[in-house]
Structure 1
Amino acid sequence: MSQLYEISEVAQQNGKNGKPCWLIIKGNVYDVTKFLGEHPGGGEALLEYGGKDATKAFKQAGHSSDAEKDLKNYKIGEINSAAPIQVQPTSNGAAKPAAHTISRRSRTREEELLRFCCC
């Protein structure tokens, strides 16, 4: 079983002030610290997404199949998608998501299939 990380844990590893640079891509967590100097687009491209979800940027960059294979070398775990959602009651007693929490939506069929990707 893969190591599970909370989004807040990944956010702390943003590559700044001597910290490692972790990225989230397709629900997986990657430590790309050692790859910063080797990235063809430059380390700054990775640091821009340090501690964040870089899935959309990764897809838009048009990475080769070799790049996708190489990414596996940097995987350190996955995002804990089973974490409970925190809610706060409103003044009228109804619950709503807290301002500091991430609301979860139902995944599309494509997103579900991507979660089972081997990378």
Structure 2
Amino acid sequence: MSQLYELSEVEQQNGKNGKPCWLIIKGNVYDVTKFLAEHPGGGDVLLEYGGKDATKAFKQAGHSSDAEKELKNYKIGEINSAAPIQVQPTSITAAKVTENTISGDPEPAKKSSSGFCCC
């Protein structure tokens, strides 16, 4: 079984201040620290995604099948998919959900009549 990592663990390994550079690609965690100097696109490209999910960027770069095979050499584990993912609200209104005390159902917060509009 592969080593499982929490997202917070990977975020700390961002390649800054002497830390290793870990990336997430397709749910797998890779330590690309030793590959920074060898990366054909330059190490800065990898550092940009240090501690983050680089799946989209990896796909968009159009890597060859050889590059995908090479990537396996740097795999150190997988993201713990059983852990709940914290999703940030996309608006102020979405963040202000209150509970209806009578039925227990979520109810959107009422808009303020102060004249302030955020949209």
* Offset at residue 83 of structure 1 (A): 1.1
Distance (whole Å) between structure 2 residues aligned to residue 85 and residue 58 of structure 1: 22
TM-score by length of 2: 0.73
One-letter amino acid of the counterpart of residue 45, structure 2? A
Three-state SS of the structure 2 residue aligned to 1:53 is: coil
Identify the residue that residue 99 of structure 2 maps to in structure 1.
92
TM-score by length of 1: 0.73
Correspondence 1:50-69 to 2 at 5 A: 50-69=50-69
Correspondence 1:29-108 to 2 at 5 A: 29-84=29-84, 90-92=97-99, 94=106
TM-superposition CA deviations, 1:64-85 (whole Å, max 9, x none): 0000000000000000001145
One-letter amino acid of the counterpart of residue 15, structure 2? G
C-alpha distance 85-71 of structure 1, shift in aligned 2 (>3 A)? closer
Distance (whole Å) between structure 2 residues aligned to residue 25 and residue 62 of structure 1: 14
Between structure 1 and structure 2, the one with the greater Rg is 2
Identify the residue that residue 20 of structure 1 maps to in structure 2.
20
C-alpha distance 83-67 of structure 1, shift in aligned 2 (>3 A)? same
Distance (whole Å) between structure 1 residues aligned to residue 40 and residue 86 of structure 2: 40
Identify the residue that residue 106 of structure 1 maps to in structure 2.
none
Which sections of structure 1, spanning at least 5 residues, go unmatched? 96-119
C-alpha distance 2-62 of structure 1, shift in aligned 2 (>3 A)? same
One-letter amino acid of the counterpart of residue 60, structure 1? Q
Aligned residues: 95
TM-superposition CA deviations, 1:1-41 (whole Å, max 9, x none): 00000111100000000000000000000000000000000
* Offset at residue 86 of structure 1 (A): 6.7
Q: What RMSD over aligned residues (CA atoms) do the two structures have, in Å?
A: 2.2
C-alpha distance 92-17 of structure 1, shift in aligned 2 (>3 A)? same
Identify the residue that residue 7 of structure 1 maps to in structure 2.
7
